[in-house]
């Protein structure tokens, strides 16, 4: 343990940023978030969240950018060249806060300090999926009778993936599928209104998500290329 602590002390501090609780915070008051960014000796990526502490260890710069901008409503494209260099980020914060948004903002600030990161809106050509109507509606896709706002959820683990939606639009379905398809999904169904649906697939099988969408929803994920609006994140000019 002593050796591990000494190794951490010897690593150079790339960025240390404090985010105040509010504008005009009195001198000497405890800041809301404190972020420390250092090169990592870890060989794999881990994430740990405890009351008052968030630790990201062994993360590449590209992965850190993805974490820091995850709350953006736009697709994020990191323009830094691929690198094997890994970093550790430790974020101290009040124990009673559960919203990760401000913590991500603090990490964005630390990345900007260390690497001169800036962001700008742009358009790039990317491999995408077009979500299109199939020949018939699947057994788990039906018009919603609900007058409430859209709801639902989902998740994917080693043994199975699932997605459910109540009174959701096809555009919302495309956005949810995008998280699991690992590429932009563009709604090209032409279907309007809200739908109820449930979807299950086995992520261990290649093409399982595409088959599930076709067999269970009567829709198609058709691969293609398109110009996509993104938030470009890279080194400031």
Considering only residues 30 and 38, tell me which one the structure prediction assigns the higher pLDDT. Answer: 38
Q: 85-94, 110-119, 137-146, 203-212: which has the minimum mean pLDDT?
A: 137-146
Domain boundaries, the chain: 2-115, 125-229
* Tens of pLDDT, residues 144-191: 887 765 555 545 455 678 888 888 899 999 988 988 888 999 999 999
* Residue 54 in tokens: 């968030």
Q: 56-60, 68-72, 198-202: which has the minimum mean pLDDT?
A: 68-72
Residue 214 has pLDDT above 90, yes or no: yes
Q: 85-89, 105-109, 155-159, 187-191: which has the minimum mean pLDDT?
A: 155-159
Q: Are 114 and 37 in contact (CB under 8 A)?
A: yes
Instruction: Name the β-bridge partners of 160.
Output: none
Q: Are 153 and 166 in contact (CB under 8 A)?
A: no
SS (H, E, C) 59-124: EEHHHHHHHHCCCCCCEEEECCCCCCCEEEEEEECCCCCCCCHHHHHHHHHHHHHHHCEEEEEEEE
Q: At what angle do helices 101-115 and 61-68 cross, to 10 degrees?
A: 140
Residue 220 has pLDDT above 90, yes or no: yes
Name the average pLDDT for the chain. Answer: 79
Residue 128 has pLDDT above 60, yes or no: yes
pLDDT, position 4: 29
């Amino acid at each position: 343990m002593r050796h591990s602590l000494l190794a951490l002390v010897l690593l150079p501090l790339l960025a240390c940023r404090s985010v105040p609780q509010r504008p005009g915070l009195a001198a000497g008051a405890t800041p809301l978030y404190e972020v420390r960014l250092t090169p990592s000796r870890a060989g794999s990526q881990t994430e740990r969240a405890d009351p008052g502490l968030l630790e990201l260890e062994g993360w590449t710069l590209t992965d850190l950018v993805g974490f820091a901008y995850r709350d953006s409503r736009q697709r994020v494209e990191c323009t830094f060249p691929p690198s094997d260099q890994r970093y550790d980020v430790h974020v101290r914060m009040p124990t009673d806060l559960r919203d990760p948004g401000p913590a991500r903002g603090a990490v964005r600030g630390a990345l900007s300090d260390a690497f001169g990161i800036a962001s700008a809106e742009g358009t790039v050509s990317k491999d995408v999926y077009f979500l299109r109507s199939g020949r018939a509606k699947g057994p788990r896709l039906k018009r919603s009778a609900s007058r409430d706002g859209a709801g639902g959820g989902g998740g994917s683990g080693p043994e199975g993936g699932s997605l459910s939606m109540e009174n959701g639009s096809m555009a919302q379905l495309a956005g949810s599928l995008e998280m699991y398809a690992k590429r932009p999904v563009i709604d090209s169904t032409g279907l309007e209104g809200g739908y109820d649906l449930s979807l299950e697939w086995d992520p261990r099988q290649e093409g399982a998500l595409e088959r599930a969408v076709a067999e269970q929803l009567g829709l198609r994920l058709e691969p293609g290329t398109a110009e996509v609006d993104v938030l470009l994140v890279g080194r400031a000019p």
